[in-house]
Amino acid sequence: MSLPAKSSELIESRARLLGPNVSTFYDEPLHVVRGEGVWLWDADGRKYLDCYNNVPHVGHCNPRVVEAICRQAATLNTHTRYLHDGILEYVEKLTGTMDAALDTAILTCTGSEANDIALRMAEGMTGKRGIIATDATYHGNTSLVSQLSRSNVPTVGFGLDQFFRFVEAPDSYRNPDPDGTKFAEAVAEQIQAHETSGVGFAALIICPYFLNEGFPDHPDGWLKPVAEVVRKAGGLLICDEVQSGFGRTGTHLWAHQKMGVVPDIITLGKPMGNGHPVGGVVTRSEILVTFRKGYRYFNTFGGNPVSCAAAMAVLEEIEDKRLLANAKTVGEHARRRLGQLAEKHEVIGDVRGSGLIFGAEMVTDRDSKDPASDYTDRVINALRHKGIILSKLGRHKNALKIRPPMPFSIENADLLIDTLDEVLAATPVIR
Ligand code: PMP
């Protein structure tokens, strides 16, 4: 590895100042210094096509968002105990994009906080504490929600294990469940187990598009059977739209709408402020009122005037630039081209996705579907050296995860696929 001197210095300083286990991407970590739209530049002035980052949802350094943040920061920023129009105008606009019953919100600074609140809301409403999630997900880093993240199970905790049960993450490639009934049955079993143990069932929390699990290919409406099971058992359905929301899937602004359900609680984060830290919980007023009465919740920064200005600018930019329609058109084009690559490159076992979340699963053998995890890693690193940034995910870390900023164009998609074609041709599969 021949890292630039400055990068080696930064890696050493990170370890010294930030401690061990602070992850970086790539064998040769990238030192980025500037972004614009779908592009990033490193310290040596090299340009990269960003096919991965969903936080700069409407593009790196989007002028509308930058201007909104600067204008509000230069006017007023306070904690959230004063009256201010910004938060009300934003919550009105945000909830206006969802089912009429979902008409209240709490704003937070992160997705983790939002999920933490959602779990407590479920406890408040049901009087029970049993939570169900998939076994390959990530929902955040608080004491409570870190228990849900099987990929990052904390080795120390607060003895909360008994409140969490897991179902196998859906996998349309290896274990198809075309109408969602297998998944619903698995959840029903865990609901029963919660009841039998005496903990009782409070909520199912899922990303409606199962992004961290590898975005399995499901038809629209796929979550209906599981939603019915949850409701019948008196529990709440929490949809974590931290990754899947704000039009990412190209067909609907919210993935739960695509999947045919109205959740009781929706949690938001990452793209919401285009990089400015703002998250949120949207729910029905009865749930919010119960939570507000039972849990004396206050958040100093959540929903401050600058955060709301950033978040409002993101929603306006999605509308103005028709980014939902763009995600659909460009995503379809990219998947069609990825499909053509699969005809050439045996290593691509499956191509899937919707809108601007898509990718390919790499296998050493199409019959056995054995994951080509190391190969995927080599491909990602080779792409980085050719100026293309993306990542991998899924239980076996063998799926290319392509999730660019929403202004991604057909030309950007062509550059990505042409470069991937070259890299796959030049990277031998070691069986
Ligand atoms: N939920 C999902 C689905 C996520 O992917 C993440 C972050 N990767 C979170 C919640 C946590 O959000 P944050 O890092 O803002 O706390």
CATH classification of the domain holding 278:
3.40.640.10
Same domain, 104 and 199: yes
**157 vs 3, 144, 148, CA distance in Å?**
37, 9, 12
Same domain, 96 and 233: yes
Is the pTM higher than 0.95? yes
Question: How many other C-beta atoms lie within 10 A of the C-beta of residue 300?
Answer: 11
Question: Separation of 12 CA from ligand 1 center, angstroms?
Answer: 27
Q: Are strands 39-42 and 47-50 parallel, antiparallel or unpaired?
A: antiparallel
Whose C-alpha lies nearest to ligand 1, atom 7? 140
Angstrom distance (rounded) from CA 271 to CA 146 = 21
Amino acid at the residue 208: P
pLDDT tens, residue order, the chain (431 aa): 567 888 888 888 888 999 888 888 888 889 999 999 999 999 999 999 999 999 999 999 999 999 999 999 999 999 889 999 999 999 999 999 999 999 999 999 999 999 999 999 999 999 999 999 999 999 999 989 999 987 666 777 778 889 999 999 999 999 999 999 999 999 999 999 999 999 999 999 999 999 999 999 999 999 999 999 999 999 999 999 999 999 999 999 999 999 999 999 999 999 999 999 999 999 999 999 999 999 989 999 999 999 999 999 999 999 999 999 999 999 999 999 999 999 999 999 999 999 999 999 999 999 999 999 999 999 999 999 999 999 998 888 999 999 999 999 999 999 999 999 999 999 988 76
Is 58 part of any domain? no
Residue 6 in any domain: the answer is: no
* Structural contact between residues 168 and 135, judged by C-beta atoms closer than 8 angstroms: yes
Q: Is 212 in the pocket of ligand 1 (CB under 6 A)?
A: yes
Q: Do 275 and 342 share a structural domain? A: no
Last residue of a domain, one of 291, 320, 349: 320
Distance of CA 412 to the CA centre of its chain: 22
Query: Has residue 106 been placed in a domain?
Result: yes
Nearest alpha carbon to residue 230 among 135, 132, 163: 132
Q: Ligand 1 pocket, 304 CB below 6 A?
A: no
| Residue nearest atom 13 in ligand 1 by C-alpha distance | 111
Last residue of a domain, one of 320, 343, 365: 320
Is residue 254 in some structural domain? yes
**DSSP letter assigned to residue 169:** P
Instruction: For residue 393, give the H/E element and its range.
Output: strand 391-393
Q: Are residues 227 and 373 in the same domain?
A: no
Let me know whether 382 and 360 are in one domain: yes
Q: Cα of 139 to ligand 1 centre, how many Å?
A: 5
The Å distance, Cα 269 to ligand 1 centre, comes to 7
Please work out whether the CB of residue 207 comes within 6 Å of at least one atom of ligand 1. Answer: yes
The DSSP symbol for 271 reads G
Q: In the prediction, which pLDDT does 24 show?
A: 84
Rounded Cα distance, 128 and 267, in Å: 20
Residue 240 contacts residue 111 (beta carbons within 8 Å): yes
Residue pair 133/204 in contact (Cβ under 8 Å)? The answer is yes
Helix, strand, coil percent values for the chain (each to nearest 5)? 40, 20, 40
Buried b (16+ CB within 10 A) or exposed e, 214-244: bbbbbeeebbbbbbebbeebebbbbbbbbbb
| Tokens (6 digits) for 420 | 């991937």
354 and 302 in one domain?
Answer: no
Q: Are 349 and 240 in the same domain?
A: no
CA dihedral 417, 210, 30, 55 (to 10 degrees): 100
Question: What are the tokens at 386?
Answer: 């050719």
Return all residues near 171 (Cβ < 8 A) that are at least 6 apart.
Answer: 213, 214, 216, 395
If DSSP codes are grouped into helix, strand and coil, which group holds residue 46? coil
Give the atom of ligand 1 at the shortest distance from the alpha carbon of 270.
15
Q: Cβ neighbours of residue 1 under 8 Å, at least 6 residues apart? A: 27, 28
Check residue 431 and give its pLDDT. 66
d(C-alpha 176, C-alpha 165), whole Å: 22
Residues 376, 232, single domain; the answer is: no
CA distance 120 to 106: 13
Pocket test for ligand 1, best of 25, 243, 274, 301 (most atoms within 8 A of CB): 243
Q: How many domains does the chain have?
A: 2
* Nearest-CA residue for atom 1 of ligand 1: 139
**Domain range for 396:** 14-26+33-50+322-426
Q: What's the 210 CA to ligand 1 centre distance in angstroms?
A: 13
Q: Is the same domain home to 332 and 233?
A: no
Domain boundary among 297, 320, 343: 320
Give dist(CA 171, CA 216) in Å, integer. Answer: 5
Residue 298 domain-assigned (yes or no): yes
What are the structure tokens assigned to 382, written together?
A: 């080779």
Q: How far apart are CA 372 and CA 379, in angstroms?
A: 11
Report yes or no on 90 lying in a domain: yes
d(CA 400, CA 427): 15
**273 and 378, same domain (yes or no):** no
Q: Are 75 and 217 in a shared domain?
A: yes
Atom nearest to 244 CA in ligand 1: 3
Evaluate whether residue 8 is within a structural domain: no
The reply to whether ipTM tops 0.95 is yes
In a domain, 55, yes or no: no
